[in-house]
Amino acid sequence: MDELEALTADSELWNSPERAQKLLREKNSLEFNLTNFQKMETSLQDLSDLAELAESENDEDVINDVMTQLEELRSQVKHGELEALLCGEVDANDAFLEVHSGSGGTEAQDWAEMLLRMYTRWADSHQYKVEYVEETEGDVAGLKSATVKISGHNAYGWLKSESGVHRLVRISPFDSNAHRHTSFASVGVYPVVDDEIEIEINEADCRVDTYRASGAGGQHINKTDSAVRITHIPTGIVVQCQNQRSQFQNRDAAWKMLKARLYEIEMKKREDAAEAERNSQGDNGWGYQIRSYVLQPYKMVKDLRTQVETSDCKAVLDGEIDMFLAASLADKVGK
Give residue 271's pLDDT band: very low, low, confident or very high (50, 70, 90): low
> Top-level CATH class of 95-193+284-334?
alpha beta
- CATH number for the region 203-272 comes to 3.30.160.20
- The closest alpha carbon to 114, from 167, 74, 43, 53, belongs to 167
Reported as a single tens digit per residue, the pLDDT across 147-175 is 999 998 889 999 999 999 999 999 988 87
Q: 94-98, 248-252, 299-303: which has the minimum mean pLDDT?
A: 248-252
DSSP H helical ranges for 84-138: 106-125
Are 8 and 24 within 8 A, CB to CB?
yes
Average model confidence (pLDDT) across the chain: 85
Give residue 105's pLDDT band: very low, low, confident or very high (50, 70, 90): confident
**pTM, entire model:** 0.70
Sign of the CA dihedral running 302, 307, 312, 315: negative
- CATH number for the region 2-83 comes to 1.20.58.410
- Tell me how far CA of residue 335 lies from CA of 84, 274, 326, 329, in angstroms: 16, 11, 14, 10
Number of CB atoms found within 10 A of residue 82's CB? 19
Higher pLDDT, 133 or 79: 133
Kindly report the backbone phi and psi dihedral angles of residue 203, in degrees, each rounded to the nearest multiple of 5, phi listed first.
Answer: -60, -25
Q: Domain-by-domain residue ranges, the chain?
A: 2-83, 95-193+284-334, 203-272
Amino acid 75: pLDDT: 86
SS3 assignment, position 110: helix
